[in-house]
Amino acid sequence: MNHPPQNSQGNSRRLGWLLAVPKLGIVLLLVALLALLWLLHRNEAEEERTSLIKDVLWLEQNLRFHLNGNEEQLQQLALEIADLPTGQRRFRLRAEHMLKNSPDIAQILWLDRSRQVVDALPTAGNEPDSNAAGPPASARAFDVASRLGKRQYSAPYFLEGGRAFVELHVPVFHERRVSGMLVAAYPLDTLLANQVPWWFTEKYKVEIVDDNDLQYATKTRIQGNSDLRYEIPFDPPGSGLLLRVTSYHSPDNTLQRLLVAAIILLAAGVFLSLWMVRDLMKKRSRAEEALRAEHAFRAAMEDSLTVGMRARDLEGHVIYVNPAFCTMTGFSASELVGHTPPMPYWAPEQLEETLAMHQTVLAGKAPLDGFEITFMRKNGERFHALVYEAKLIDGNGKHTGWMASVLDITERKHAEELARQQQEQLQFTSRLVTMGEMASTLAHELNQPLAAIASYNTGCLNLLSSGQAAPQDIVPALEKIAAQAQRAGKIIRRVHDFVRKSEPKRAPCQLGEVIEDCLGFIEAEARKHQVRIECDIPTLPPIPADRLMLEQVLLNLIRNGMEAMAATPAADRVLRVAVELGTNELLVSVSDQGCGIAADVREKLFTAFFTTKQEGMGIGLSICRSIVEFHRGRLWVEENPLSPSGSGTIFRFTLPLEAA
């Protein structure tokens, strides 16, 4: 009789469990829906931020590639106008082409060493803009580029009207010295207007700001405020600039649609739930496809680089090389990745030096401006490489290794060596020209000892033919013949030493002996021009120098001084050579009492192929300055205050006492 109640209680419990299961299912479904809504919202925010970062990186790379292209064109233009005599015509031709193809460049200037405008495009008229040198930020960039010999961007600055500008300074070299500067002025608002596509501004607001949040330029087609933004250093041009991109949410009812979908899911059951899962899977598939396309795009950009890229971990193992590096060394990526030192592209003869630099890089002490090293291709060929090392930082900001950019500079090295050989040939030619100009005077000087030798020889023959000559009568004549022969031999030896071709080599030498040899060499020409040479040479220590080069400098300056006194009265034709001993250097001066040098001529006096002589080549003083700078000294010109006419000239140059 107790079974029915027990059965009823059992059925009730079962019914309760059956009713509780759908309720629990509904609760679980609601929880799942709420969690799904939250996850979808979070995923949407993450996708929006990821899209923003990718677009910002794309925009930054697009701007950087554009500016790098302009830098290379200006660098090529600097080389062309430095080597060609028609530099100004070439400048205008190339500058007009650049301005047409790069409308974001407002003006291209060509400045000389003193920051004076040589030419400019565009100009207000036919003459360059006299104010093209720019504000202090431009002057600082000019000085840095001149000192480093490398292209340099200026800090941003504002001009009247509120427009912000930044300038690119590219040095112009002549004979391995900075002879001028090419300057490209970029208005930052114009740069954004031309390089930021219209579709980008439909989604984002693009700004160029600094660390103090000062805005220099902006471009957008939408209004409003948003907290979703991303900043990245704007490099180049750098100087503390940031590229800030702000994303604006498009007004939609995504949350409302999701709530409606949740209600439909509650009503439709498992089928619609599965449909939602299917829809999410399709979205995920599309996201993965977009990610693969983005990865392929970045890989294609990386493979198109001509600069070798090599990544190593903190232990020195190679973990990545790009195709350009493989092409440069001749090894495949599989042969290099995972390899440990010594690397197969290290030159065996420089193994110790390369290993020492490898340890320096791993210790974080690599030079910031890069270092040069010799690598070996797979076929054994050596090549010169310029390497820049930078830290490899992962997505969590952790230092995981070192990334190197490798440039093959073998051709540049060959060009520098060819320029050096051409400079040596020019110096040798200058000595031959000097020798040719002095040939007639030396011939007259040699004629005197030769005539004396012939005269003494005739006298000895006459004494011997008379049969009355005693040996003691002939000895004095023979001694005089020997003395005259030594004198002629000394003159010929000086000429031979001066015109011989030799490699520049600094060795300890006595400057006093060099000056005495020069005066002995120039003595005949000084008598011919009625010039009196005075010397003030104290006791001097030996200096590291190339004796022949110093003779060339002194002979050139002394001959220029004698020629400058051609119109000076004979009594006042005094040329003075003096040497002052300083703490770390010697100061050599050659002063004349001649016609002097005008101020406007003095500025161009040391320019190659500039001359004030009708038959001059214009290379003497330029070579003299190159020789003095080769010895780490300075050469300049001053007025001679002690000249009776008040128009004399003093050439001074310094020579260091210690070798570097």
Residues 255 and 401 in one domain: no
How does pLDDT run across 179-216, given as a tens digit for each residue?
Answer: 889 999 989 888 888 888 888 888 888 888 888 888 88
Cβ-Cβ contacts under 8 Å for 581 (sequence gap 6 or more): 538, 540, 541
Q: Tell how strand 107-112 and strand 117-121 pair up.
A: antiparallel
- From residue 31, alpha-carbon distances to 17, 24, 28, 37, 444 in Å are 20, 10, 5, 10, 116
Looking at residue 656, which CATH number applies to its domain?
Answer: 3.30.565.10
How many residues are present in the chain? Answer: 660
pLDDT band at 589 (very low <50, low <70, confident <90, very high): very high
647 occurs within a structural domain: yes
Within-domain flag for 294: no
The answer as to whether 283 is a domain residue is no
Q: What is the pLDDT of residues 288-330, one digit of tens each?
A: 888 888 877 877 777 767 788 888 888 888 888 888 888 888 8
Q: Both 318 and 255 in a single domain?
A: no
Residue 67's CB: how many other CB atoms inside 10 A? 23
Residue 7 has pLDDT above 60, yes or no: no
Q: Tell whether 243 and 169 lie within a shared domain.
A: yes
Give the pLDDT confidence of 228-257 residue by residue, as tens digits. 888 888 876 767 788 888 887 655 556 656
Domain that holds residue 363: 308-408
Q: Give yes or no for residue 437 having a pLDDT over 60.
A: no
Which residue type sits at 31?
Answer: V
243 and 99 inside one domain: yes
Answer whether residue 3 is part of any domain.
Answer: no
Tokens of 447: 């004629």
The residues, ordered by sequence, that sit 6+ positions from 96 with a Cβ below 8 Å of its Cβ are 121
6 membership: H or E segment, kind and range: helix 3-83
| Domains contained in the chain, number | 4
In a shared domain, residues 388 and 428? no
- Domain check: are 133 and 172 in the same one? yes
Indicate the SS3 state at residue 104: coil
Tens-place pLDDT, residues 622-650: 778 888 888 888 999 888 887 776 678 89
Q: Domain with 370 in it: what CATH number?
A: 3.30.450.20
DSSP calls for 147-210: HHTS-EEPPPEE-TTS-EEEEEEEEEEETTEEEEEEEEEEEHHHHHHHHS-HHHHTTEEEEEE-
Closest by alpha carbon to 487, among 446, 519, 527?
A: 446
Confidence check: pLDDT of 168 > 60: yes
Lowest mean pLDDT among 105-109, 337-341, 358-362, 617-621: 617-621
Same domain, 480 and 527: no
What is the per-residue pLDDT for 130?
42
Cα–Cα distance for residue pair 446/449, rounded to 1 Å: 6
Q: Which residue, 448, 477, 503, sits at the end of a domain?
A: 503
- Residue 206 forms part of a structural domain: yes
**Bigger pLDDT: 389 vs 645:** 389
CATH number for position 467: 1.10.287
Examine the fold and report which residue of 358, 377, 408 is the final residue of a domain before the chain moves on: 408
Which of 449, 483, 503 terminates a domain? The answer is 503
Instruction: Return the pLDDT at 8.
Output: 45
**94 in any annotated domain:** yes
Q: Rounded mean pLDDT of the chain?
A: 77
Q: Is the pLDDT of residue 4 over 60?
A: no
Q: Does residue 128 belong to any structural domain of this protein? A: yes
Report the sign of the C-alpha dihedral through residues 472, 476, 478, 479, in that order. positive
Which alpha helices (DSSP H) does 84-150 contain, by range?
87-101, 136-148
Same domain, 449 and 516: no
331 or 297: whose pLDDT is higher?
331
Same domain, 611 and 526: yes
360 pLDDT tier (thresholds 50, 70, 90): confident
Judge whether 655 lies within some domain: yes
- Indicate whether 479 and 541 sit together in one domain: no
**At a CB cut-off of 8 Å and minimum separation 6, what does 531 contact?**
562, 565, 573, 574, 575
Query: Would you place residue 37 in the very low, low, confident or very high pLDDT band (cuts 50, 70, 90)?
Result: low
Q: Bigger pLDDT: 601 or 101?
A: 101
Do 346 and 253 fall into the same domain? no
| pLDDT of res. 652 | 92
One domain for residues 584 and 499: no
Mean pLDDT over 497-519 rounds to: 74
